[in-house]
Structure formats: C-alpha cells, structure tokens
C-alpha cells in the first residue's frame, strides 16, 4: 500500500514540475521578441527523501547570458551611438556649408568676388562692374556670418543634447537602483529573479548608449556600476550626474571655463567619458565645431586685413567726404615714418587743397588725429580731424578727402602698413570681434560702400608733372593690386584641422569645406563598419542568449509527453488502489 502511495506522490511531482517547466517555456515563447529578454531554463532535479528517490522537483529557473558577449555588445553599442551622433552632425554641417563643388559654397562666392575684381580692372568706372564687386563681396561675408551662426547653433544643440543624455543616464541609474532592491529581496526569499535581471540589463544597455560604463554583480545579486575611469555611479545608492546646459554659446565660450562640466559627486568627468552619445557630443561641442570656427575666423580675419590694407592705399571717385575708423585703435602708440599727404578732392578728382603731415614719430590715435587736424585746419574750409575712444574721423568740410603715404610700425610683431589702414579710415570690410575668436560672425562690406559702390577704392592719389595731386578717372592701380592679392597666395597659419598654407582665399575656403567633407566621409565609413559589427554581435548574442522558438516548441513537446506520462502513472496507480480496495471488501 505504501509503495502505491509513494508512486502516486512521485507521479504528482512529475505533473507539478512539468507544469512549472511548461510555464517557463511558455514565457520564453511569449517574450521571444521582447527587447532585452533572455532565455530562461528550468533546471529539473531528482527529489530524494531519506535516501530514496521521490520524484522530481524544479531546482531553479536560470537565465542563460554570455557575459563576455554582453560586454562586447554594450561596448560596440556605445561606439555605434557615438558615431551615429557624429554622422548626424556632420551631415548637417554638409547641408549648411555646402560641398566644395557647390556654386553656393563659400569657396565659390570668394571665387566670384575675385573674378569680379579682376573684371573691374579693365573698366574701373563701370557702374555695373563696381556693383558686382560689392555684391559678391557681401555675399561672401554673409556666407561667413551664416557659417559662424550655424556652427555656434550646432554647439549649443550639442550641449543641450548632452544634458538630455545625462537625464537618460540618471533615470536608468534610478531604475537599476530599484531593481537591485527587488532582486536582492527576491533572492533572499528564494524567488526567481531572471526577468528582473533582464530589465536591469536593459537599463544598463540604455546607459551604454549614452556613455561607456562597467559593471559587476555581488553575490547577493546587487549590481554596481562605474564609469570606465572608475568613478562610482551606483553602489548602494545612485550617484547622479550633473550638467547645466549653456543658455547660449559664442565662439569665445569654451570648456573648461565658460561651459559647465559633467560632474559626479562634485568631480568633473567630462574628459573621462570615452564613447557613447555623450562623448561624441562633447567632442563636437569642444573640438570639431571650434576647429571649424577657428578656420573660418582665420579666413575672415585674413580677408578683412589683406583687402583693407590695399583698399586704404586708394580712394573712390568721387571721394568720400568723411572717413571714420571702422574700429578703434586702443593699443600702444605706433611709430610713423615718411610723409603723409592729406588732400581735399573735387568731384572730378582734382585737388582743391593738399598738404603734408611730416612724420610725427610715435603717437597713439589721439596724437595722429591732432597731427592730421593741424593740416586740415590749415586749409581754412572747415575740414577737421577728431578722435574719440580710439576712433578717428576725418571731415573734408564738403570736399572729398583722401590721405596717402606714411609707414606705420604697430609693434608687437605686427606687419607695417600705411596710416589710413592703421587707423582703419577707408576699410572695405568692417567688423570687430573683441574676443578675436569669431570675426566671421560680424564681417561685412562697409555700409556706405554697399549703398554707393563708387566709394570703393579703385585708384590712388598721384602727382602730375606740375606736382599737383589728383585721382585720375580710369585709374585701376588699387583694383589691380587687390585682384593680384585675391588670386595669389596669402599665408595662413596652422589652425583647427588645417596645416599652414600659402594659397588664395577661395582655395583656403575650399580646403575648409574639403576637410569637413573628408571627415564626414570617414565618419560614414566608420559608422557603416560599426553598424555591421553591432548587428553581427547582436545576432550572436541572440543565438546564445535569446529565445529560439523552434527549440522551445520542441521542449514543449517533450514536457507535454512527460506530463502525459505522469498522468498515466497516476491513472494506473489509481486503478491499482481500486483493485486493492475491492479485494479488501471481498
């Protein structure tokens, strides 16, 4: 009788255990396409009582995870997301700045400007050709303005996205902290934790998309998370990451200094983040885009200074009646050598009055204004020179005004130039960036020249046989010198990602765009390779740790058969009990 009871109990354990195992298989099949879900395996154990087999029991429900492959997948995912962000930003840069062969690119506009100046040398009095020069110059300046604004806009977007990514990391750290508590408590009660661990791993994967991290799990099931540099992000309690995005960004606002760092427990970890979306955004904000700014700033500065140096050697016809410094000279005093000629011109270019200003030695802007005023006041027609805050204004008293001659040594290793250029009296391109970091943001053609292109310098003051000063109609000496400067080499220092070079302005602009296009192409290649690698590792991880529905359905058939067999045993034992009972009654 006891043997039959034992058999009945043994068959019952078979029913119960196979039923539990069926639940595990069913859960696997149901979650086959659930992100982050890993295959669970029901471990069956022989039940032994007093040294005698007493059926079967469910030992544990284990999840199968290849830890090494999981770490590799997280690292590759982090690299992929880094490249994905860089690809998006480089594509936007390409869209904003144009390709090197585009007719609307900065290089093309500077080439158009150079071509129009060359055309003007053949007929300097042509109204349409003068208008072409001014229009093309302003288009190039506006393109520089737009490139600068777009670059700073992208930097600010990158900084804002850094903050958004940090919010994601902090949210997932808090999620993992709660899951840790649940997992530890469940393990203490002997409850399976596979699904909770899947949720925790999924949260870690979401963190890995944003930044590279490392983890380890204690014996009690609690997970600890570090940055790759060893900063603790979660150990008992989460250490939340902090970053305050900038309200606005200009070229001179940089990290460290003007931009808030990424901190954990008061420690700046900005430079420690090696991959993931955050690392890419930091690189874009602090290196890639500032390099672009440095390149276009150098181009704008060289364009302004080289063109203005030549433009200040001449005058328009008729000459401007007032000349004012386009930017103040507030530096140290400069040395002037040679003779400066100050001339008041009639509309036809002939001199109404002319006088010489002997080299006064070393003066500041106020000193130069006083010396010029001495000459102008001597004409007795109300002409004057004044200075305010480093800016000098020459008033021709109703006449056109032009100055020529004199060599100024500004000192400090700066190149010598003419007095008009030193005081910025007759600049073609204007714009001042006090920081010196982003002239491209403000450069433009002088307003009065835009309104009246005849004010553009084309010829220079010269003397006839009788030593009278004049500006001749058809004189293209200044325009010719400017055309030569635009088409021949200008020396550019190594800046951003570009090496030092001696080249034309349009070719330097082309170098900027070409370098950006080349970097974008490299990012595209790296992105494609990493995407393929990520897909391959995901496939391998899925094969190792994911659910194979065909395999699970096969397991289900095995369990169904085992369940049915246990049921047959119970039926047989029940029948045997009935026989025994009937025999006892007989």
| Lowest-pLDDT choice from 15-24, 384-393, 495-504 | 15-24
The number of C-alpha atoms within 13 Å of 273 and in the hemisphere containing its C-beta is: 31
pLDDT at 361: 82
| Lowest-pLDDT choice from 51-55, 118-122, 151-155 | 51-55
pLDDT at 70: 85
User: 522 to each of 50, 97, 179, 261, 536, how far by Cα in Å?
Assistant: 70, 18, 41, 29, 21
The more confident residue out of 383 and 31 is 383
The more confident residue out of 18 and 533 is 533
Round to whole Å and give the CA distance between 144 and 292: 11
pLDDT at 63: 74
DSSP assignment string, 414-452: PPPB-HHHHTTSS-SEE---TTSS-GGGT-EE-HHHHH-
Give the mean model confidence (pLDDT) for residues 458-469.
89
User: What pTM, to 2 d.p., does this model score?
Assistant: 0.85
Round to whole Å and give the CA distance between 95 and 154: 12
Give the mean model confidence (pLDDT) for residues 354-375.
89
322-324/391-395 β-pairing = antiparallel
Who contacts 348 (Cβ-Cβ below 8 Å, separation ≥6)?
A: 318, 473
Binned at pLDDT 50, 70 and 90, residue 350 comes out as very high
pLDDT at 340: 92
DSSP for residue 287: I
pLDDT tens by residue, 141-199: 999 999 999 999 999 999 999 999 999 999 999 999 999 999 999 989 888 888 898 89
Binned at pLDDT 50, 70 and 90, residue 124 comes out as very high
**402 strand-pairing partners:** 343
Round to whole Å and give the CA distance between 276 and 281: 9
pLDDT at 257: 84
SS3 per-residue string spanning 314-380: CECCCCCCEEECCCCCCCCCEEEEEEEEEEEECCCCEEEEEEEECCCEEECHHHHHHHHHHHHHCCC
pLDDT at residue 502 greater than cutoff 90? yes
The more confident residue out of 256 and 580 is 256
Round to whole Å and give the CA distance between 126 and 122: 9
pLDDT at residue 201 greater than cutoff 70? yes
**What's the chain's average pLDDT?**
87
Residues 496, 489 contacting (CB under 8 angstroms): no
Binned at pLDDT 50, 70 and 90, residue 363 comes out as confident
pLDDT at residue 267 greater than cutoff 90? yes
Residues 509, 319 contacting (CB under 8 angstroms): no
Question: Rg of the chain's alpha carbons, rounded to an integer?
Answer: 40
The more confident residue out of 29 and 461 is 461
pLDDT at residue 1 greater than cutoff 90? no
Instruction: Give the number of other Cβ atoms within 10 Å of residue 157's Cβ.
Output: 18
Percent pLDDT > 70 in the chain is 84
The more confident residue out of 177 and 555 is 177
DSSP for residue 214: E
Query: What b-and-e string marks burial along 517-549, b requiring 16 or more CB atoms within 10 Å of the CB?
Result: bebbeebeebbeebeeebeebeeebeeebbbee
**225 strand-pairing partners:** 215, 234
Q: Number of helices (H) and strands (E) in the chain: give both, helices first.
A: 13, 22
Task: Residue 482: name the closest of 301, 298, 303, 296 by CA.
Answer: 303
Task: Residue 228: name the closest of 216, 212, 204 by CA.
Answer: 212
pLDDT at residue 44 greater than cutoff 80? no
Give the mean model confidence (pLDDT) for residues 62-70.
79
The more confident residue out of 577 and 398 is 398
Q: How far out from the chain centre does Cα 19 lie?
A: 57
Give the mean model confidence (pLDDT) for residues 100-123.
91
The more confident residue out of 552 and 251 is 251
Binned at pLDDT 50, 70 and 90, residue 359 comes out as confident
Round to whole Å and give the CA distance between 579 and 584: 9
- Dihedral sign of CA atoms 28, 29, 33, 34 in order: negative
pLDDT at 560: 67
Give the mean model confidence (pLDDT) for residues 60-68.
74
Give the mean model confidence (pLDDT) for residues 210-219.
93
Residues 417, 404 contacting (CB under 8 angstroms): no
- Phi/psi for 355 (5° steps) reads -155, 160
Who contacts 28 (Cβ-Cβ below 8 Å, separation ≥6)?
A: 39, 40, 547, 552
Round to whole Å and give the CA distance between 164 and 243: 10
pLDDT at 493: 94
Token pair 């496939």 is found at 539
């Amino acid at each position: 009788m006891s043997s039959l009871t034992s058999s009945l109990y043994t068959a019952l354990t078979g029913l119960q255990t196979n039923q539990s195992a069926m639940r595990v298989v069913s859960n696997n099949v149901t979650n086959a396409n659930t992100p982050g879900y890993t295959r669970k395996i029901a471990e069956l154990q022989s039940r032994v009582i007093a040294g005698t087999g007493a059926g079967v029991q469910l030992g544990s429900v284990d999840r199968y995870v290849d830890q090494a492959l999981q770490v590799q997948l997280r690292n590759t995912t982090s690299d992929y997301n880094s490249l994905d962000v860089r690809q998006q930003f480089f594509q936007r840069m390409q869209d904003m700045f144009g390709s090197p062969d585009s007719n609307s690119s900065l290089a093309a506009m500077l080439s158009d400007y150079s071509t129009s100046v060359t055309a003007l040398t053949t007929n300097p009095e042509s109204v349409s050709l003068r208008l072409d020069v001014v229009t093309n110059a302003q288009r190039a300046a506006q393109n520089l303005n737009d490139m600068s604004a777009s670059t700073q806009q992208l930097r600010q977007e990158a900084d804002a996205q850094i903050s958004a990514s940090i919010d994601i990391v902090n949210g997932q750290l808090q999620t993992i902290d709660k899951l840790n508590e649940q997992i530890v408590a469940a393990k203490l009660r002997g409850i399976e934790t596979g699904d909770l661990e899947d949720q925790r791993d999924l949260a870690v994967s979401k963190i890995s998309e944003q930044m590279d991290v490392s983890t380890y799990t204690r014996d009690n099931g609690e997970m600890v998370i570090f940055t790759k540099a060893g900063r603790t992000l979660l150990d008992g309690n989460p250490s939340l990451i902090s970053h305050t995005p900038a309200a606005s960004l200009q070229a001179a606002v940089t990290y460290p200094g003007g931009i808030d760092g990424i901190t954990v427990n008061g420690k700046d970890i900005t430079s420690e983040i090696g991959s993931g979306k955050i690392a890419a955004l930091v690189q874009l904000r602090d290196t890639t885009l500032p390099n672009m700014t440095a390149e276009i700033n150098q181009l704008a500065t060289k364009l302004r200074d080289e063109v203005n140096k030549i433009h200040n050697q001449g005058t328009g016809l008729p000459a401007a009646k007032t000349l004012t410094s386009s930017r103040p000279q507030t530096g140290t005093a400069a040395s002037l050598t040679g003779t400066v000629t100050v001339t008041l011109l009639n509309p036809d270019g002939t001199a109404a009055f002319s006088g010489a200003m002997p080299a006064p030695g070393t003066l500041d802007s106020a000193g130069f204004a006083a010396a010029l005023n001495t000459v102008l006041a001597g004409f007795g027609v109300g002409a004057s020179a004044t200075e305010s805050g480093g800016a000098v204004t020459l008033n021709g008293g109703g006449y056109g005004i032009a100055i020529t001659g004199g060599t100024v040594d500004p000192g400090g290793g700066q190149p010598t130039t003419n007095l008009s250029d030193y005081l910025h009296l007759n600049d073609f391109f204007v714009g001042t960036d006090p920081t010196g970091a982003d002239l491209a943001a403000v450069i433009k053609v002088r307003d009065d020249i835009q309104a009246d292109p005849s004010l553009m310098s084309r010829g220079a003051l010269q003397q006839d046989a009788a030593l009278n000063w004049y500006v001749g109609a058809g004189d293209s000496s200044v325009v010719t010198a400017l055309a030569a400067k635009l088409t021949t080499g200008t020396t550019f220092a190594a800046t951003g990602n570009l090496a030092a070079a001696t080249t034309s302005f349009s070719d330097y602009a082309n170098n900027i765009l070409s370098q950006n296009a080349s970097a974008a192409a490299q990012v595209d290649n790296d992105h494609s390779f990493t995407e393929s690698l990520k897909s391959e590792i995901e496939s391998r991880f899925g094969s190792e740790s994911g659910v194979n529905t065909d395999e699970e359905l096969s397991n289900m058939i095995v369990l169904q058969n085992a369940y049915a067999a246990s049921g047959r045993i119970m039926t047989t034992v029940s029948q045997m009990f009935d026989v025994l009972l009937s025999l006892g009654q007989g």
